[in-house]
Protein backbone atom coordinates (compact mmCIF):
# COMPACT_ATOMS: atom_id res chain seq x y z
CA UNK A 1 0.00 0.00 0.00
CA UNK A 2 2.84 2.39 0.81
CA UNK A 3 4.24 1.87 -2.69
CA UNK A 4 0.88 2.88 -4.15
CA UNK A 5 0.84 6.13 -2.16
CA UNK A 6 4.49 6.73 -3.01
CA UNK A 7 3.75 6.25 -6.71
CA UNK A 8 0.82 8.66 -6.52
CA UNK A 9 3.04 11.17 -4.72
CA UNK A 10 5.76 10.98 -7.38
CA UNK A 11 3.16 11.36 -10.15
CA UNK A 12 1.50 14.37 -8.55
CA UNK A 13 4.84 16.06 -7.85
CA UNK A 14 5.85 15.49 -11.49
CA UNK A 15 2.59 17.16 -12.58
CA UNK A 16 3.37 19.98 -10.14
CA UNK A 17 6.76 20.56 -11.79
CA UNK A 18 5.12 20.64 -15.23
CA UNK A 19 2.53 23.10 -13.93
CA UNK A 20 5.24 25.39 -12.54
CA UNK A 21 7.05 25.26 -15.89
CA UNK A 22 3.76 26.01 -17.65
CA UNK A 23 3.16 28.96 -15.30
CA UNK A 24 6.63 30.37 -15.96
CA UNK A 25 6.53 30.02 -19.73
CA UNK A 26 2.94 31.15 -20.24
CA UNK A 27 3.62 34.07 -17.89
CA UNK A 28 6.33 35.24 -20.25
CA UNK A 29 4.23 34.70 -23.38
CA UNK A 30 0.97 36.20 -22.12
CA UNK A 31 0.48 39.98 -22.02
CA UNK A 32 -0.48 41.65 -18.73
CA UNK A 33 -2.76 43.98 -20.70
CA UNK A 34 -4.85 41.21 -22.30
CA UNK A 35 -8.17 40.21 -20.73
CA UNK A 36 -10.38 37.32 -21.84
CA UNK A 37 -14.05 36.75 -21.08
CA UNK A 38 -17.04 34.79 -22.36
CA UNK A 39 -20.26 36.57 -23.10
CA UNK A 40 -22.58 36.64 -20.10
CA UNK A 41 -19.65 36.52 -17.66
CA UNK A 42 -17.85 38.93 -15.33
CA UNK A 43 -14.09 39.01 -14.79
CA UNK A 44 -11.80 40.94 -12.42
CA UNK A 45 -9.34 43.28 -14.16
CA UNK A 46 -6.63 45.66 -13.05
CA UNK A 47 -4.06 48.00 -14.49
CA UNK A 48 -1.83 51.00 -14.05
CA UNK A 49 -2.68 54.62 -14.80
CA UNK A 50 -0.16 56.85 -16.56
CA UNK A 51 -0.46 59.42 -13.76
CA UNK A 52 -2.03 59.88 -10.35
CA UNK A 53 -5.73 60.72 -10.10
CA UNK A 54 -6.85 63.32 -7.60
CA UNK A 55 -9.16 61.73 -5.04
CA UNK A 56 -7.65 58.22 -5.27
CA UNK A 57 -6.92 56.23 -2.13
CA UNK A 58 -3.45 56.69 -0.71
CA UNK A 59 -3.55 53.81 1.80
CA UNK A 60 -5.11 50.36 1.92
CA UNK A 61 -7.98 49.54 4.24
CA UNK A 62 -11.71 50.21 4.41
CA UNK A 63 -13.04 52.45 1.67
CA UNK A 64 -14.89 55.60 2.68
CA UNK A 65 -18.60 55.64 1.84
CA UNK A 66 -18.02 58.88 -0.07
CA UNK A 67 -15.25 57.29 -2.10
CA UNK A 68 -16.40 55.95 -5.48
CA UNK A 69 -13.72 55.15 -8.08
CA UNK A 70 -16.38 55.24 -10.82
CA UNK A 71 -16.57 59.02 -10.33
CA UNK A 72 -12.81 59.30 -10.83
CA UNK A 73 -12.12 57.06 -13.85
CA UNK A 74 -13.31 56.64 -17.41
CA UNK A 75 -12.89 53.99 -20.08
CA UNK A 76 -11.90 55.33 -23.49
CA UNK A 77 -13.42 54.70 -25.93
CA UNK A 78 -16.80 53.89 -24.38
CA UNK A 79 -18.31 50.63 -25.61
CA UNK A 80 -21.64 48.83 -25.42
CA UNK A 81 -19.79 45.50 -25.60
CA UNK A 82 -18.97 45.53 -21.89
CA UNK A 83 -19.64 47.35 -18.64
CA UNK A 84 -16.72 48.39 -16.44
CA UNK A 85 -17.36 48.79 -12.72
CA UNK A 86 -14.32 50.24 -10.98
CA UNK A 87 -13.91 48.98 -7.44
CA UNK A 88 -10.66 50.66 -6.43
CA UNK A 89 -8.11 53.23 -7.50
CA UNK A 90 -5.16 53.46 -5.12
CA UNK A 91 -2.34 55.67 -6.27
CA UNK A 92 -1.91 54.77 -9.94
CA UNK A 93 -3.30 51.22 -9.58
CA UNK A 94 -6.90 50.64 -10.59
CA UNK A 95 -9.06 47.54 -10.17
CA UNK A 96 -12.45 46.74 -11.55
CA UNK A 97 -14.90 44.16 -12.86
CA UNK A 98 -15.84 43.83 -16.52
CA UNK A 99 -19.30 42.41 -17.28
CA UNK A 100 -20.22 41.12 -20.73
CA UNK A 101 -23.86 41.04 -21.95
CA UNK A 102 -25.31 37.63 -22.88
CA UNK A 103 -26.05 38.85 -26.40
CA UNK A 104 -22.56 40.16 -27.15
CA UNK A 105 -20.91 38.71 -30.26
CA UNK A 106 -17.26 37.56 -30.15
CA UNK A 107 -14.94 40.50 -30.67
CA UNK A 108 -11.61 41.96 -29.61
CA UNK A 109 -11.66 45.49 -28.24
CA UNK A 110 -8.98 47.93 -27.18
CA UNK A 111 -9.43 50.56 -24.50
CA UNK A 112 -7.61 52.86 -22.11
CA UNK A 113 -8.37 53.88 -18.54
CA UNK A 114 -7.74 57.45 -17.39
CA UNK A 115 -8.91 60.06 -14.91
CA UNK A 116 -12.36 61.46 -15.63
CA UNK A 117 -10.97 64.96 -16.03
CA UNK A 118 -7.79 63.91 -17.85
CA UNK A 119 -7.12 62.94 -21.43
CA UNK A 120 -5.21 59.70 -22.05
CA UNK A 121 -1.64 60.44 -23.03
CA UNK A 122 0.49 58.54 -25.52
CA UNK A 123 2.13 56.78 -22.56
CA UNK A 124 -1.19 55.46 -21.25
CA UNK A 125 -1.49 51.66 -21.27
CA UNK A 126 -3.71 50.17 -23.96
CA UNK A 127 -5.71 47.12 -22.86
CA UNK A 128 -7.22 44.39 -25.01
CA UNK A 129 -10.46 42.55 -24.22
CA UNK A 130 -11.25 39.37 -26.13
CA UNK A 131 -14.85 38.21 -25.88
CA UNK A 132 -15.67 34.58 -26.73
CA UNK A 133 -18.92 32.83 -27.53
CA UNK A 134 -18.21 29.56 -25.70
CA UNK A 135 -15.87 27.71 -23.35
CA UNK A 136 -14.06 25.87 -26.16
CA UNK A 137 -12.97 28.98 -28.03
CA UNK A 138 -12.14 30.72 -24.75
CA UNK A 139 -9.80 27.94 -23.61
CA UNK A 140 -8.23 27.50 -27.04
CA UNK A 141 -6.97 31.11 -26.96
CA UNK A 142 -4.64 30.52 -23.98
CA UNK A 143 -0.94 29.75 -24.39
CA UNK A 144 -0.99 27.52 -21.31
CA UNK A 145 -1.56 23.81 -22.14
CA UNK A 146 -3.15 23.29 -18.71
CA UNK A 147 -5.67 26.04 -19.37
CA UNK A 148 -6.31 24.80 -22.90
CA UNK A 149 -6.92 21.16 -22.10
CA UNK A 150 -8.23 21.23 -18.52
CA UNK A 151 -9.65 24.72 -18.08
CA UNK A 152 -7.55 25.09 -14.91
CA UNK A 153 -4.91 27.71 -14.33
CA UNK A 154 -1.48 26.10 -14.10
CA UNK A 155 -0.57 27.80 -10.80
CA UNK A 156 -3.78 26.39 -9.29
CA UNK A 157 -2.82 22.91 -10.53
CA UNK A 158 0.70 23.36 -9.12
CA UNK A 159 -0.56 24.31 -5.65
CA UNK A 160 -3.10 21.46 -5.56
CA UNK A 161 -0.53 18.91 -6.74
CA UNK A 162 1.97 20.18 -4.14
CA UNK A 163 -0.53 19.62 -1.32
CA UNK A 164 -1.62 16.22 -2.69
CA UNK A 165 1.96 15.10 -3.36
CA UNK A 166 3.22 16.04 0.10
CA UNK A 167 0.18 14.39 1.68
CA UNK A 168 0.77 11.18 -0.26
CA UNK A 169 4.46 11.20 0.66
CA UNK A 170 3.51 11.62 4.31
CA UNK A 171 1.03 8.76 4.15
CA UNK A 172 3.59 6.60 2.33
CA UNK A 173 6.21 7.37 4.97
CA UNK A 174 3.83 6.48 7.81
CA UNK A 175 2.74 3.23 6.16
CA UNK A 176 6.35 2.29 5.35
CA UNK A 177 7.33 2.93 8.95
CA UNK A 178 4.51 0.74 10.27
CA UNK A 179 5.38 -2.02 7.80
CA UNK A 180 9.03 -1.85 8.89
CA UNK A 181 8.05 -2.18 12.55
CA UNK A 182 5.95 -5.25 11.74
CA UNK A 183 8.84 -6.82 9.80
CA UNK A 184 11.29 -6.08 12.61
CA UNK A 185 8.95 -7.81 15.05
CA UNK A 186 9.34 -10.89 12.83
CA UNK A 187 13.13 -10.54 12.81
CA UNK A 188 13.39 -8.96 9.35
CA UNK A 189 14.91 -5.57 8.55
CA UNK A 190 15.12 -3.53 5.36
CA UNK A 191 18.48 -2.73 3.84
CA UNK A 192 18.86 1.01 4.40
CA UNK A 193 22.11 1.51 2.54
CA UNK A 194 24.12 -0.59 0.11
CA UNK A 195 27.54 0.91 -0.66
CA UNK A 196 30.08 -0.65 -3.03
CA UNK A 197 33.72 -0.44 -1.96
CA UNK A 198 36.85 -1.70 -3.71
CA UNK A 199 36.73 -5.15 -2.14
CA UNK A 200 33.30 -5.51 -0.55
CA UNK A 201 29.75 -4.31 -0.14
CA UNK A 202 28.92 -2.34 2.97
CA UNK A 203 25.40 -3.16 4.13
CA UNK A 204 23.43 -1.11 6.67
CA UNK A 205 20.15 -2.76 7.67
CA UNK A 206 17.28 -2.16 10.06
CA UNK A 207 17.93 -4.72 12.76
CA UNK A 208 19.81 -3.73 15.89
CA UNK A 209 20.37 -4.70 19.48
CA UNK A 210 16.79 -3.94 20.46
CA UNK A 211 15.72 -6.53 17.89
CA UNK A 212 18.00 -9.18 19.40
CA UNK A 213 21.02 -8.79 17.08
CA UNK A 214 24.51 -9.00 18.57
CA UNK A 215 27.94 -8.44 17.05
CA UNK A 216 29.12 -11.60 15.34
CA UNK A 217 25.60 -12.89 14.66
CA UNK A 218 25.18 -14.52 11.27
CA UNK A 219 22.05 -13.40 9.45
CA UNK A 220 20.37 -14.18 6.15
CA UNK A 221 20.00 -11.88 3.13
CA UNK A 222 16.51 -12.20 1.61
CA UNK A 223 15.50 -11.08 -1.87
CA UNK A 224 12.31 -9.14 -2.61
CA UNK A 225 10.36 -12.43 -2.51
CA UNK A 226 11.79 -13.14 0.99
CA UNK A 227 13.88 -16.07 -0.26
CA UNK A 228 17.43 -16.47 1.20
CA UNK A 229 20.19 -15.59 -1.30
CA UNK A 230 23.22 -15.05 0.96
CA UNK A 231 24.30 -14.63 4.56
CA UNK A 232 26.37 -12.04 6.43
CA UNK A 233 27.85 -11.32 9.83
CA UNK A 234 26.82 -8.31 11.89
CA UNK A 235 30.05 -6.41 12.54
CA UNK A 236 28.77 -3.23 14.18
CA UNK A 237 25.48 -3.26 16.04
CA UNK A 238 23.56 -0.23 17.23
CA UNK A 239 20.16 -0.05 18.88
CA UNK A 240 18.15 0.40 15.64
CA UNK A 241 20.51 -0.80 12.90
CA UNK A 242 23.59 -2.84 12.16
CA UNK A 243 26.48 -2.77 9.69
CA UNK A 244 27.93 -5.75 7.83
CA UNK A 245 30.08 -6.54 4.81
CA UNK A 246 29.60 -8.85 1.85
CA UNK A 247 31.89 -9.92 -0.96
CA UNK A 248 31.35 -8.19 -4.30
CA UNK A 249 30.07 -11.39 -5.92
CA UNK A 250 27.22 -11.68 -3.41
CA UNK A 251 23.70 -11.60 -4.78
CA UNK A 252 22.33 -8.42 -3.20
CA UNK A 253 20.36 -5.47 -4.49
CA UNK A 254 18.54 -2.43 -3.12
CA UNK A 255 15.14 -3.52 -1.82
CA UNK A 256 16.45 -6.74 -0.27
CA UNK A 257 16.11 -7.61 3.42
CA UNK A 258 18.24 -9.01 6.23
CA UNK A 259 16.70 -11.55 8.62
CA UNK A 260 17.67 -13.32 11.79
CA UNK A 261 17.95 -17.06 11.35
CA UNK A 262 14.79 -18.70 12.58
CA UNK A 263 12.66 -15.60 11.97
CA UNK A 264 9.08 -16.05 10.77
CA UNK A 265 9.98 -15.48 7.12
CA UNK A 266 13.54 -16.72 6.99
Query: Quick check: pTM over 0.85?
Result: no
Out of 1.10.3470, 3.30.2010, 1.10.260, 2.60.40, the CATH code matching 31-141 is 2.60.40
- Give span(s): CATH 2.40.30.20, the chain: 186-260
Give the C-alpha distances (Å, rounded to integers) separating 228 from 58, 224, 247, 261: 76, 10, 16, 10
Q: Which pLDDT belongs to residue 59?
A: 53
Compute the average pLDDT of residues 180-189: 90
Out of 3.40.640.10, 3.40.50.1100, 2.60.40.10, 2.40.30.20, the CATH code matching 186-260 is 2.40.30.20
With CA atoms as reference, report the closest residue to 202 among 188, 211, 213, 192. 192
Task: Dump pLDDT digits (tens) for 185-231.
Answer: 899 999 999 999 988 999 999 999 999 999 999 999 999 888 999 99
pLDDT exceeds 80 at position 264: no
Task: Dump pLDDT digits (tens) for 67-80.
Answer: 688 888 889 888 88
Q: Let me know how long the chain is.
A: 266
Amino acid sequence: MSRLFHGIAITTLAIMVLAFIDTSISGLLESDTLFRAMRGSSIPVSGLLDKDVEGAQTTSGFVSERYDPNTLLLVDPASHAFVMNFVEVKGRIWRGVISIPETQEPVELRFRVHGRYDQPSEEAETYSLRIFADQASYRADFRSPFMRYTGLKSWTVALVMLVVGLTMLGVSFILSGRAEVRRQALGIGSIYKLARHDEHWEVIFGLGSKHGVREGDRLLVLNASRSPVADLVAQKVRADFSIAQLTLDAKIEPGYFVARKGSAQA
